Amino acid sequence: MANEEHPAVTNFRNYIRIKTVQPTPDYATCTTYLQGQAKEIGAECQVVECVPGKPAVIMTLPGEDPSLPAVLLNSHTDVVPVFPEHWLYDPFGAHKDEAGNIYGRGTQDMKCVGIQYLEALKRLQEMGGESGRFLRTVHLSFVPEEELGGLQGMGRLVDTETFKRMDVGVALDEGYASTTDAMKVFYGQRNPWWILIKCPGQPGHGSQFLQNTAGEKVAKIKSSTLHGIPEQELRPYPIFPTPNSTPSQLPSVHLLPNSQVSFQPMCTPSQLPTVHLLPNSQVYTLPVPMCTPSQLPTVHLLPNSQYSHPCVHLPNSQVYTFPVPMCTPPSQLPTVHPPSPTPTQNAPPPPLAITPASPLSTAACSSTLSRRAVRGLRRPHPAVGDRGLPEETRRVVRGGGGGDHVMEKAVTCVEDGKNPWWDAFSAACKKMGVVLEKEIFPASTDMKYIRKLGISALGFSPMNNTPILLHDHNEYLNEEVFLRGVDIYAEVIPALANLRPW
């Protein structure tokens, strides 16, 4: 019948109805449901509880050559809390309106993707023949606790022998919706920098008007932080708009034609460009890929900028950061050379600038509360065989004062011709007519644990022409957009799972 619901949509709605909502997710019901899904696709299934009561369900479809690194299709089962009084429909009722919009917590984040994996595999198996068989093993992981940071989910799972035996070569995980025709793919993510602030103060009875109390200091810190948000929101994204500008990348330095370059690890000062910066910001970042010294760009300053202490990380770096406070005539701007490996006492650290969507750069920072210095940059261990990528980078920033504050930053190479996993993924999307926009994820996902191991990982939720409603009231996804995602994954999964070794 014309009005009969597609079975994939019915399955999606059934999954939404399982209340895996934090802080008391119903993992038991969810696990039973997923075990049934594993039987439908003929997958081996195991339940791993790294933390009691918080199960990860792992499905495995063995490949024809199990010695090859496998494909991991990851999703998380938990969802964030809801305020039902602000919803049009029951957040766990999976109501579908006349327009085909399915309302429910997790419709975008990210139960849709988990079901798209499963339904794509079912479709491939129904097609028969070679369509349902793969060269490489395919794993599906449904992990808990992502909405709480994943520390008791994927964070624990990657350290288990179970995960090591899975021999993952590439992983797919969540992205988020796109409001345009294009679809977003994420190859890295913003990194938190945890800061511990201690406020000593005068003790005494609360009925007295005490001076210099700890509570007063905490209140001032909270107030100054909140007051800074409107100022950051008013900052332009970016100062120089470009077709590729995204909030997560903020390209605030304008380059001349040879801009898609970076520096060799052994650049000498004579090989470095003159760096000129734009107005109205304190920190600008210059994200660049790879090149030779002969391709170094010249970055020109527009009027009304001022040079400040440079913090330029050249060796083994993909991003260069230049702090700029106020303005000065362009004629007074110097050539920027790399600093010595160890910051000198006479070189003041640049001002701390926190933006709503910071790129993958890290500068030595300072503020009235804390001072941090970049102590070193390093790469992960070189990849072996076709398991990982030389382009995977990890940056470690250690802070001083109250102990080490470590930030690890890893990205997956998404340059054509340099990463076979990316080439296979992007070719499959192109075949489906998908226009991809490559971005850094502005928040955090479980892929931070995967990339930390040097494994290629892409965040991709095939939802275009859709409002971004993850964690919002009245989260929904249109059934046609959902089904289009199934179509896309039915092309992407075999493209990755049948990728020949290189």
Amino acid making up residue 200: P
Q: How far apart are CA 490 and CA 115, in angstroms?
A: 12
Amino acid making up residue 82: V
Do you find a cis peptide bond into 23, omega within 30 degrees of 0?
Answer: yes
95 is in an annotated binding site: no
CB 482 within 8 A of CB 468: no
State the number of CA atoms in the 13 A half-sphere of 323 facing the CB: 17
Instruction: Tell which residue, 271, 281, 377, 238, has the closest CA to residue 320.
Output: 377
416 is in an annotated binding site: no
Cβ atoms within 10 Å, residue 284: 25
Q: How far apart are CA 270 and CA 287, in angstroms?
A: 21
E strand or H helix at 13: helix 7-16
109 is in an annotated binding site: yes
Instruction: Tell which residue, 431, 424, 396, 409, has the closest CA to residue 191.
Output: 409
Q: Where are the alpha helices (DSSP H) in 171-319?
A: 214-234
Q: Strands (DSSP E) along 294-432, which ranges?
A: 319-323, 365-366, 371-372, 393-397, 407-411
Q: Where are the alpha helices (DSSP H) in 211-331?
A: 214-234
Residue 199's alpha-carbon distances to 214, 221, 293, in angstroms, are 5, 10, 49
Query: What's the DSSP call for residue 305?
Result: B
Cβ atoms within 10 Å, residue 388: 24
String of DSSP letters for 98-143 = TT-EEESTTTTTTHHHHHHHHHHHHHHHHH-GGGG--SS-EEEEEE
- Among all residues, which ones are annotated catalytic? 78, 146
Which residues are within 8 A (CB) of 281 and not within 5 positions of it... i.e. 6 or more apart? 235, 239, 252, 324, 353
Compute and round to an integer the Cα radius of gyration of the chain: 25
Annotated binding site: 76, 109, 147, 174, 471
Annotated binding site for Zn(2+): 76, 109, 147, 174, 471
